[in-house]
């Protein structure tokens, strides 16, 4: 016991880890102030004015223009002239080789940095975004695209050019480099891109031109191609949204190995992508990275031979030709509908970037606040003319835009887009208050189960009358990113339909809505971003924080323990008041969730406020593996030290003095588990305690190993 006492004296509460992450997106003591907000919509138009000879017209002012929207005159509030030709100077050729390029740290960003009034970094600058669709390019196409981008940056970039690098891969759009004029940084990013990334998801044809693989009949790729194309177009829409917060003209150079629509199945997403680009002032400049292609009638050596009757009737040869042309038609349509130009059937791919560069030389930016406040999503036609009729000039500008929509008029696509946009925002949205608790329990020597519970005050949710009953539908979306690599390691997309009886509907103002899910993670540092949306009003709440999953295998100074869960209720799994969309996945989580035992779930008390008439449940796990637990063979017999029970107890402190203490319990590690899991559970009666603030401390002792561990957190007992 002297060794144990010495170990206890050497430990301090300040140095202990393993406390779970708890927080909320709104301060507890925040005042419910009334806020008067006025919303106006700024419409920005980029107007190119040229004379009969095609030369830019200079010296115009806001008084020289007339702007109408749906034949209603608008007042110009913002006017600026962007003259790039006067300032553009060729940069000196880069003499540095690829080996001389300094390698900068590449970290994917989630948004383009907006321009501020103090720092107008984009004024008189040409904005070019290089967008690489890795899912639509084979390895050879990726090499050609990257070489073309490197050639442009080395030899054709001018002093007014700002270039950004974007990449679509694995279902996400990453900003590898924000707009910059640093050629070394841009070349470094291009050099670190790995050729071959994402090309496995490129589309395969499902017609007479498809190869005979000799496999048994099964589901073809047509259904998957529909969704792949939608994802590619949706990614372009996301990129347009990212660039939309800049008022200047933007050109997105889209490198791809073709993009083929699947009949009318992708038309809705194509229109949404084009509309988003037009509204954001982005023009698409697609470049076919396949270059000049001379195909054999039945395909080249990159694919297997056809094995159908079409090779004898000519149908296979026609299908090969049609497949190739169809993949270019979509790229041509994206360019034509947004004011760009597609580069097809050309090996000099950097010429497409130069065309986008030359298209932006001199233009005027006109901004006005529309007089039409209706948010109906309808198209609004814009007309801009010169007041001086003697000046014969040609005006090139956006002919109109689609107005914003109220949430009540959102389609299913609009609602998904709203969540995706909110997930990309750096600043949190606090229209709904969200409280969250993140715990962790060790599953094996490598993995940890991370249960997450989200609570939303019921008074902030709207009720909908459907079929004579009260319903509340809540959408959830979240992702977990590795803080080291910046990659998304797990995500969740779910919704719950809460069915409320008359009794529970009346109590909704006094009780929170709870949602729980779980993830399996490795030790490391992570960031979670979680969104909840009331599907009746469209209000969104965002919760974002970082958390750490410790590696308990390396814990040798203290008793390894999991998170400590404080709760006031155990509910039967059959008594859930809502239906989750992903019931099967949740059932899998519950199978490994240590908070679910004997068909009942322990619900964590996120706010740690307990009623005086309710018991407080305390649950945690301690781990005491035997000496041979790390061996790969079957579970060895427990050593004498591992068979000694662990001792634990709970203490409540008030103003530094002990107010309550449970009887110590002795729990032996489960010999059937290689981790030596000891489940520690306590029931604390709050009836004998006075209302007020307490510090709850859990103490775990290992007499055999002369180790200890403590966990401490504040709680509140209310009447």
Q: Is the separation of the CB atoms in 168 and 254 below 8 Å?
A: no
Residue 638 is predicted with a pLDDT of 46
- The CA-atom distances, in angstroms, between 266 and each of 202, 232, 332 are 16, 10, 16
Is the model's pLDDT at 355 over the cut of 50?
yes
Is the model's pLDDT at 640 over the cut of 60?
no
| Pick from 132-136, 404-408, 542-546: least confident | 404-408
Q: Under DSSP, is residue 568 helix (H, G, I), strand (E, B) or coil?
A: strand
Whether 20-25+428-549+572-594 and 98-210+222-360 share one fold: the answer is no
- Residue 662: pLDDT band (50, 70, 90) is very high
- Residue 389: pLDDT band (50, 70, 90) is low
Q: Is the separation of the CB atoms in 702 and 690 below 8 Å?
A: no
If one looks up domain 98-210+222-360 in CATH, what number appears? 3.40.50.410
Residue 170 is predicted with a pLDDT of 73
Residue 666 is predicted with a pLDDT of 93
Is the model's pLDDT at 708 over the cut of 90?
yes
Length of the chain: 719
Of 163 and 470, the one with more pLDDT: 163
Is the model's pLDDT at 31 over the cut of 80?
no
For 263, left (φ over 0), alpha (ψ -120 to 50), or beta? Answer: left
State the Cα–Cα distance between residues 380 and 554, nearest whole angstrom: 63
State the Cα–Cα distance between residues 470 and 506, nearest whole angstrom: 10
| Pick from 212-221, 393-402, 600-609: least confident | 212-221
Residue 659 is predicted with a pLDDT of 92
Residue 23 is predicted with a pLDDT of 74
Is the model's pLDDT at 598 over the cut of 70?
yes
Is the model's pLDDT at 219 over the cut of 50?
no
Q: Is the separation of the CB atoms in 636 and 626 below 8 Å?
A: yes
Q: Which CATH class is domain 20-25+428-549+572-594?
A: mainly beta
Is the model's pLDDT at 30 over the cut of 50?
yes
Q: What is the pLDDT of residues 361-377, one digit of tens each?
A: 889 999 999 999 888 88
Residue 431 is predicted with a pLDDT of 84
* CB atoms closer than 10 angstroms to residue 85: 12
**In the chain, where the domains are located:** 1-18+607-719, 20-25+428-549+572-594, 42-85+364-407, 98-210+222-360
Residue 664 is predicted with a pLDDT of 93
Q: What does pLDDT average to over the chain?
A: 79
If one looks up domain 1-18+607-719 in CATH, what number appears? 2.60.40.2550
């Amino acid at each position: 016991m002297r060794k144990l006492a010495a170990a206890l004296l050497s430990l301090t509460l300040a140095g202990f880890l393993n406390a779970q992450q708890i927080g909320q997106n709104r301060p507890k003591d925040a005042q419910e102030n009334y806020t008067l907000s006025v919303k106006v919509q700024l419409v920005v138009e980029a107007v190119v004015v040229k004379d009969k000879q095609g030369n830019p017209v200079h010296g115009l002012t806001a008084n020289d223009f007339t702007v109408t929207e749906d034949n209603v005159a608008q007042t110009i509030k913002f006017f600026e002239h962007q003259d790039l030709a006067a300032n553009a100077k060729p940069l000196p050729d880069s003499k540095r080789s690829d080996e001389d390029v300094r390698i900068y740290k590449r970290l994917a960003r989630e948004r383009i940095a907006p321009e501020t009034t103090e720092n107008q970094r984009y004024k008189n600058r040409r904005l070019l975004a290089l967008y690489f669709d890795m899912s639509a390019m084979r390895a050879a196409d990726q090499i050609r695209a990257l070489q073309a981008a490197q050639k442009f940056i080395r030899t054709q970039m001018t002093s007014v050019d700002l270039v950004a690098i974007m990449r679509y891969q694995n279902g996400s759009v990453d900003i590898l480099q924000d707009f910059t004029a640093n050629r070394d940084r841009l070349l470094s990013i291009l050099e670190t891109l790995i050729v071959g990334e994402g090309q496995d998801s490129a589309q395969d044809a499902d017609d007479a031109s498809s190869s005979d693989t000799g496999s048994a009949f099964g589901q073809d790729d047509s259904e998957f191609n529909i969704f792949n194309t939608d994802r590619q177009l949706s990614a372009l829409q996301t990129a347009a949204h990212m660039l939309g917060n800049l008022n200047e003209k933007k050109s997105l150079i889209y490198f791809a190995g073709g993009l083929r629509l699947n009949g009318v199945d992708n038309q809705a997403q194509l229109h949404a992508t084009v509309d988003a680009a037009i509204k954001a002032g982005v023009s698409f400049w697609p470049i076919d990275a396949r270059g000049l292609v001379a195909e054999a009638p039945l395909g080249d050596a990159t694919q297997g031979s056809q094995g159908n009757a079409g090779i004898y009737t000519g149908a296979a040869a026609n299908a090969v030709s049609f497949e190739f042309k169809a993949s270019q038609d979509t790229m041509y349509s994206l360019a034509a509908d947004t004011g760009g130009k597609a580069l097809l059937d050309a090996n000099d791919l950097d010429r497409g970037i130069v065309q986008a560069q030359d298209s932006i030389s001199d233009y005027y930016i006109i901004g006005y606040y529309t007089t039409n406040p209706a948010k109906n999503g309808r198209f609004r036609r814009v007309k801009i003319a010169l007041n001086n009729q003697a000046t014969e000039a040609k005006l090139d500008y956006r002919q109109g835009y689609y107005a914003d929509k109220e949430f009540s008029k959102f389609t299913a696509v609009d609602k998904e887009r709203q969540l995706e946009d909110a997930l990309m925002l750096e600043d949190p949205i606090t229209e709904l208050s969200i409280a969250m608790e993140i715990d962790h329990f060790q599953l094996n020597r490598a993995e940890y189960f991370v249960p997450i519970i989200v609570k939303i005050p019921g008074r902030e949710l709207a009720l909908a009358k459907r079929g004579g009953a009260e319903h509340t539908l809540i959408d959830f979306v979240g992702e977990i990113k590795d803080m080291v690599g910046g990659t998304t390691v797990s995500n969740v997309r779910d919704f719950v339909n809460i069915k409320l009886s008359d009794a529970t509907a009346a109590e909704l103002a006094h009780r929170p809505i709870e949602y729980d899910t779980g993830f399996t993670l490795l030790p490391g540092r992570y960031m979670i971003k979680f969104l909840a949306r009331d599907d009746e009003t469209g209000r969104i709440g965002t919760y974002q924080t970082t958390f750490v999953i410790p590696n308990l295998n390396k814990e040798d100074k203290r008793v390894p323990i999991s998170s400590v869960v404080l709760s006031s209720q155990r509910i039967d799994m059959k008594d859930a008041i809502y239906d989750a969309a992903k019931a099967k996945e949740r059932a899998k989580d519950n199978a490994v969730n240590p908070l679910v035992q004997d068909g009942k779930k322990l619900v964590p008390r996120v706010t740690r406020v307990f009623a005086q008439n309710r018991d407080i449940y305390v649950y945690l796990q301690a781990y005491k593996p035997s000496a041979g637990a790390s061996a790969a063979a079957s579970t060895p017999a427990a050593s004498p030290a591992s068979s000694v029970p662990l001792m634990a107890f709970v203490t409540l402190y008030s103003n530094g003095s002990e107010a309550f203490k449970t009887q110590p319990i002795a729990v032996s590690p489960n010999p059937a588990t290689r981790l030596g899991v000891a489940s520690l559970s306590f029931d604390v009666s709050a009836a004998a305690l006075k209302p007020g603030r307490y510090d709850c401390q859990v103490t775990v002792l290992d007499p055999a190993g002369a180790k200890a561990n403590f966990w401490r957190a504040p709680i509140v007992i209310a009447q």
